[in-house]
Structure 1
Amino acid sequence: MSERRYIVTGAASGIGRAVAEQAAAEGAALSLVDISADALEDVAAKLRANGNRVTTVVADLTSADEPARVVEESVSFLGGLDVLVSNAGAPELYLLKDLPIEAFDRAIALNVRATWLLAQAARPHLIEAGGGSVVATGSVCGHHPAPPQGAYGVAKAGLFMLIRHMALEWGPEGIRANSVSPGPTMTGLTEGVFNDLNDPQQRAVREMRESKLPLRKLGTPDEVAAAIVFLASPAASQITGIDIVVDGGMSTVLMPSAGVSTGQT
């Protein structure tokens, strides 16, 4: 993967950071995107120290104007583009009866619209590179209802159809589009929920959630990132329009318990 050129959103922590680290380990050049400037620069500095070409773009992807700027600045640094990883996302924790329209709009803007606008801006550059790859981070919430994450689930379900349309419409141009759906995964979003095994309450929550998974363990950002980097790579050259679920077997359970999927990206 020598000098394959990546844009990775949500790259300051969690799954996005793991994607950046794994791609960098294979020689990629990267544009890292996040709303958290200091954390983003910390990731970039560590990758630069290992010899990778890395730039950062601080952006709020809920703004409709930002995705085009992100792609423009990224391509200016990278000199082209091979892979877009649209990973930025966050849940809105409301039951539908209490869901504010602002929270619903944020969920759609970040999880669906931003991916569309990023990919739309990236498309000419991916074509110029001879065909490239778009990989979006989905969620098991897009496959299974998990209150109180209704808005998030609706957004991720919409994301899956967006990816399938990209695969169908852009496949003749050499562009592949796929997604990866994490199940319960230990990220920054789950701090205070089940990450700290020294906290009796968090330990109890974690043990309860792990007991409901066939593999009896929560996922890690590295495990999800491995699927994303695979789909972005030439090894997946015949794969497009699909969603890989990385959930410890949660989807095999007839009725997943509500809330087990908190914290994806």
Structure 2
Amino acid sequence: MDMDGTFLRDDKTFDEPRFQKQLDEMNARHIHFVVSSGNQFLHLKEIFKDIHGKISYIAENGAFVMTGRDEKLEQSFIKPNVLKRFVHELETNSIFAGGNHILSGEHGAYIPDNESAEDIKNAKYYYQDLHIVHNLENVDDNIYKISLGWDSDDVSTQMRFIDQQFKGLLRGTSSGRGGIDVLNDGISKANGMEIFRKHWNLTRDNMAAFGDSGNDIEMLKACKYGIAMKNAAPEVKAIVNYETVHDNEHDGTLDTIDRILKGEPLHRIEH
């Protein structure tokens, strides 16, 4: 289950009583509910702080995977020498100029002190334990990902540079408009789903996923029931057979969860 633009409304809320009832039923029926997001694990836990029951997590776009029993199945840290080389490119290469940069690590998140006050304020919502630092190269933590963002929607030039210059080491994945998450090569939401599939001895026929944007595509393809949001991007709807009847503002995911729990047919997309 993706979060922003999918499970959450645009004001970052959801119908907590309704979802609590659904989660109670899922737990009773041994159905696993997995949050899958590019967000930091601590931030995701904060979203569900008033919900009781077992929730599993794919955080940091797949770099952190943990079961509802608090078993850590994956922690993929960027190698220090690779991180140092990439941070050097961030600070010296004009291709990355004009963007904001955040390191997301095991013990907190780190943002340069030359970022704007508005960017720092926005980052504090998504990252718990945010540290403002003078130089990202001096951060002493295990880093899951580097989050990059620009005002422009088109980040294809930066994506190509990452894929070419750090081939086999790092990969860039879209995190929404103007955003890129940089992770170890091979790490993704889909990889997180595969870890859970093996851990719980499932087949893809037993799995459903919800998403709305480009970084959800691999995850949606990994499940028999890939479900696009009504508000999803066209390229997302193009690769799945199902969509929610309503958008994220009108409980599209919760309505579809009810359909699944009741054994009702899902809403098909006509291609």
Q: Same fold (TM over 0.5)?
A: no
Query: Which has a greater percent of helix?
Result: 1
Structure with the greater alpha carbon radius of gyration = 2
TM-score (normalised: structure 2): 0.38
Task: Determine which structure has greater relative contact order: mean sequence separation of CA pairs < 8 Å that are 6+ residues apart, divided by chain length.
Answer: 1
More strand by percentage:
2
TM-score (norm 1): 0.39
